[in-house]
């Protein structure tokens, strides 16, 4: 009997017996338990079931006080709150379920791989998720199939959430008359085979797929075999792509690694999930050892009494014979030999044959073995290392008994293969023009010059167009593109088309789905989406906003909202922070304010933000910079003047204040147009409205006070103005040598 009734319990039992639903079945069923075609199981009166040997591993040591027990629903029995779980059930068989406001969808994995990953975590607690992915490359579904794309697996294991593409396994066989047939031998997880065949037939009947002449199911006890015969002249690869696109031969499996950890729901990464299992097994082994130690000590205590009794057997027998009942004998024995009550009861229960010499030797031998066992059990409790070794030994035993080969193949998508395997992870220079043209150029293209030089020609721009954004990034990094209107788009650096130094580049609207009236405000380079990092946004009207980096890990093709921006305002800066940084806002009027990031609480993506600085009339924020040790603040004006100032001249204030002077503006200098946090050895790239660029070491720029005007950095034509600056990545004697050699060749 179960309070939910048999309508719930029996389907659960059936699922645990289905080898196409569970990677490692927990129930050994006899009779009709359903099929991958969607056939229902027989009624329970026609089926029989028992636990599989692997399920028994889940119950091992249950009676040794390894887990807590609570009363059942009607308090007539007790039941365990959790099973001892020698087998890593959660990762190997997965889980799926929904609750109020949350859901979990954990895919199954291969036992051998999971066991190896757990042992790796034990041996190296500092192992990274990327290193674990080399051991567990991805889910392993009971129905096999092919997972395409590695990046989403990495994202799911690193963040606890992800979406993977799972395909059926298809092959091509030749037919007579220059025709081909497509053979399906595996279908994606939880796909109904009958429904799949019906969908393919419907597509053919409605002429959505026109190249198929026949469809039949030849599956039998030997395995699955669906035959799709093609018409003469049809290319199998084309039909296969159509089937992937229009049927459930390709599905998306959403991974949510949400589990109950000490009764609290948590979305965990792969490493955290593994450590939860390790901690559980550690507790089970310690509790089991304590239980076994107590049993051994109790038995040794009894044997000690036996040994004393056997040495004084005549006196013991005399006391027992002279007593009128058991209670009197017990009291006399306890008083005479200082026996405990447990020892006395055991002696009184002793059978006469145990008094022989042979039995006496057995008692001595058993006692010696118990002393060794007690010493061994105590050593386990005193050594965390021994407990971990026992966990590893259990996993080795499970792998040897129940481990099998991986069923699901994991292949990189064509796009990922081209990028990850064929493109070197090297630094590139990214430029975006005012009209929205973007390009990727090797950083060695621009040679270093001394302060005051004329610079190298940058990109050819149209009339009234100019280079507005410039930054450096490795080709394998992610770039988050923040628009002035408050949206964010996502690309990898290698997805930005390469171009020559003087080429104008490619329209960014061809790469990002942005509307014609949107402009890119700033870009943030990200290697991994860490939950311990944040994105800090700033607007031209002095509004700042802080959000978790994880909020930006899964943008849609059309972008997502990064912040709500007021009418007439715009995003001007986005910075990656660690949660405890200090930041500096700089305005076009030469003012700046330094504040602590902890003064700004994290907000959701769609929030507006809070005031960062109080602005004067016609003033606007042009830059937000991060304060870093051993760095100075570099500022430049539109007329080509600049300077460096130590950060200690800017005292931290509460956000929302008016700030202090950072550069005298107006007159010779003009408005302040840019700033950067730099240190000795850094190099600077200056950009003018006419596309002129100059690269120079920041060491050639003087460090002077806050309220000064600065020195000339670049000679500008009368009609030219500086619009931006960027720090060049420090590669950099090697970069300079490569640039010089390239220049000599040309």
Query: If residue 633 lies in a helix (H) or strand (E), which one and from where to where?
Result: strand 632-637
Chain centroid to CA 269: how far?
A: 5
- In 3D space, the residue among 558, 686, 582 whose CA is nearest the CA of residue 631 turns out to be 582
DSSP summary character for residue 494: G
CA 695, CA 342: separation in Å to the nearest integer? Answer: 89
* Structure-token pair, residue 275: 């450590």
Q: Exposed, middle or buried: residue 577 (CB in 10 Å: 0-12, 13-18, 19+)?
A: middle
- In 3D space, the residue among 411, 462, 458 whose CA is nearest the CA of residue 436 turns out to be 462
DSSP summary character for residue 666: B
Is residue 142 helix, strand or coil? coil
DSSP codes, 157-215: HHHSEEEEEEE-EEEEEEETTTEEEEEEEE--TT--HHHHHHHHHHHHHTTSS-SEEEE
CA 38, CA 32: separation in Å to the nearest integer? Answer: 12
* Structure-token pair, residue 296: 């051994």
- Angle between helix 357-382 and helix 384-402 axes, rounded to 10 deg: 100
Show the 3-state SS of 548-605: EHHHHCCCCCCCEECCCCCCCCCEEEEEEECCCCEEEEEECCCEEEEEEHHHCCECCC
367 given a catalytic annotation? no
The single residue listed with the structure tokens 């039992």 is: 13
Q: Are 463 and 455 in contact (CB under 8 A)?
A: no
Query: If residue 146 lies in a helix (H) or strand (E), which one and from where to where?
Result: strand 146-148
DSSP codes, 672-735: EEEEEEE-TT-EEEEEETTSEEEEEEGGGS-B--TTS--EE-----TT--EEEEEEEP--THHH
262's CB contacts (< 8 A; 6+ apart) are none
- In 3D space, the residue among 132, 136, 162 whose CA is nearest the CA of residue 149 turns out to be 162
For β-strands 409-411 and 146-148, DSSP reports them as: parallel
CA 61, CA 50: separation in Å to the nearest integer? Answer: 19
Among 1, 10, 24, 46, the one annotated catalytic: 46
Is residue 238 helix, strand or coil? helix
- In 3D space, the residue among 205, 203, 201 whose CA is nearest the CA of residue 215 turns out to be 201
| Backbone φ and ψ of 696, nearest 5° | -145, 155
* Structure-token pair, residue 706: 């806050």
> What residues does 526 pair with on adjacent strands?
478
Strand order in the sheet with 591-596: 621-627, 582-587, 591-596, 660-661
Chain centroid to CA 730: how far?
A: 30
The conformational region for residue 122 under phi > 0 = left, psi -120 to 50 = alpha, else beta, is alpha
CA 185, CA 192: separation in Å to the nearest integer? Answer: 14
Strand order in the sheet with 672-678: 672-678, 632-637, 641-646, 711-712
> For the chain, give me the number of helices (H) and strands (E)?
17, 40
> Other C-beta atoms within 10 Å of 15: how many?
16
* Structure-token pair, residue 680: 């000795």
Residues serving a catalytic function are 46
């Amino acid at each position: 009997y179960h309070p939910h009734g048999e309508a719930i319990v029996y389907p659960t039992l059936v699922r645990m017996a289905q080898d196409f639903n569970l990677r490692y079945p927990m129930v050994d069923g006899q009779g009709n338990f359903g099929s991958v075609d969607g056939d229902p199981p027989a009624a329970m009166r026609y089926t029989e079931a028992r636990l599989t040997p692997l399920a028994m591993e889940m119950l091992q040591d249950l009676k040794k006080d390894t887990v807590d027990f609570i009363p059942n629903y009607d308090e007539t029995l007790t039941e365990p709150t959790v099973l001892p779980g020698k087998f890593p059930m959660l990762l190997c068989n997965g889980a799926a379920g929904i609750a109020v406001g949350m859901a979990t969808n954990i895919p199954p994995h291969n036992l051998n791989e999971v066991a190896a990953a757990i042992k790796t975590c034990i041996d190296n607690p500092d192992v990274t998720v990327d290193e674990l992915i080399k051991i567990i490359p991805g889910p392993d579904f009971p129905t096999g199939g092919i997972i395409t794309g590695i990046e989403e697996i990495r994202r799911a294991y690193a963040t606890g959430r992800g979406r993977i593409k799972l395909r059926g396994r298809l092959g091509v066989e030749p037919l007579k008359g220059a025709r081909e047939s497509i053979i399906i031998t595996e279908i994606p997880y939880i796909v109904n085979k009958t429904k799949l065949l019906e969908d393919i037939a419907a597509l053919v009947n409605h002429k959505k797929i026109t190249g198929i002449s026949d469809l039949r199911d030849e599956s039998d006890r030997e395995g699955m075999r669906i035959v799709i015969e093609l018409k003469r002249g049809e290319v199998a690869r084309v039909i296969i792509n159509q089937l992937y696109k229009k049927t459930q031969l390709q599905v998306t499996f959403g991974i949510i690694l949400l589990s109950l950890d000490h009764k609290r729901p948590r979305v965990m990464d792969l490493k955290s999930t593994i450590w939860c299992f390790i901690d559980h097994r550690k507790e089970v082994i310690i509790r089991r050892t304590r239980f076994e130690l107590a049993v051994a000590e109790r038995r040794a205590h009894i044997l000690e009494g036996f040994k004393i009794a056997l040495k004084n057997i005549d006196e013991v027998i005399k006391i027992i014979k002279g007593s009128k009942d058991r209670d009197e004998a017990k009291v006399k024995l306890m008083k005479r030999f200082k026996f405990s009550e447990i020892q006395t009861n055991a002696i009184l229960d002793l059978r006469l044959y145990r008094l022989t010499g042979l039995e006496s030797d057995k008692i001595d031998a058993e006692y010696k073995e118990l002393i060794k066992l007690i010493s061994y059990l105590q050593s386990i409790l005193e050594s965390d290392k021994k407990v971990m070794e026992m966990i590893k030994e259990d996993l080795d035993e499970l792998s040897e008994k129940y481990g099998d080969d991986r069923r699901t193949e994991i292949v990189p998508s064509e796009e990922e293969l081209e990028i990850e395997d064929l493109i070197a992870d090297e630094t590139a220079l990214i430029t975006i023009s005012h009209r929205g043209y973007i390009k990727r150029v090797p950083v060695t293209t621009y040679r270093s010059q001394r302060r005051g030089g004329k610079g190298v020609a940058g990109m050819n721009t149209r009339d009234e167009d100019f280079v507005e954004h410039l930054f450096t990034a490795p080709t394998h990094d992610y770039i988050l593109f923040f628009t002035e209107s408050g949206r964010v788009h996502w690309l990898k650096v290698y997805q930005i088309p390469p171009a020559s130094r003087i080429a104008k580049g490619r329209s960014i609207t061809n790469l990002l789905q942005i509307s014609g009236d949107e402009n890119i405000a700033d870009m943030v380079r990200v290697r991994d989406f860490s939950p311990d990092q944040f994105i800090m946004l700033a607007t031209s009207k002095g509004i700042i906003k802080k959000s978790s980096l994880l909020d930006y890990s899964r943008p849609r093709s059309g972008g997502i909202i990064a912040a709500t921006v007021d009418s007439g305002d715009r995003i001007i800066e986005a910075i990656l922070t660690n949660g405890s940084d200090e930041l500096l806002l700089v305005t076009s009027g030469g003012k700046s304010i330094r504040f602590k990031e902890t003064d700004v609480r994290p907000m959701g993506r769609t929030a507006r933000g809070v005031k960062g600085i109080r602005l004067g009339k016609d003033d606007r924020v042009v830059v937000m910079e991060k304060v870093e040790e051993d760095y100075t603040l570099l500022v430049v004006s539109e007329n080509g003047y600049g300077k460096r100032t130590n950060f200690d001249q800017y005292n931290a204030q509460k956000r929302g204040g008016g700030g202090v002077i950072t550069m005298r503006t107006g007159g010779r200098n003009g408005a302040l147009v840019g700033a950067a946090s730099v240190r000795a050895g850094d190099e600077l790239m200056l950009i003018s409205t006419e596309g002129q660029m100059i690269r120079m070491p920041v060491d050639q720029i003087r460090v002077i006070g806050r309220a000064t005007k600065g020195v000339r950095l670049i000679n500008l034509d009368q009609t030219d103005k500086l619009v931006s600056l960027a720090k060049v990545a420090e590669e950099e004697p090697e970069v300079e040598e490569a640039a010089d050699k390239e220049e000599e060749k040309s």
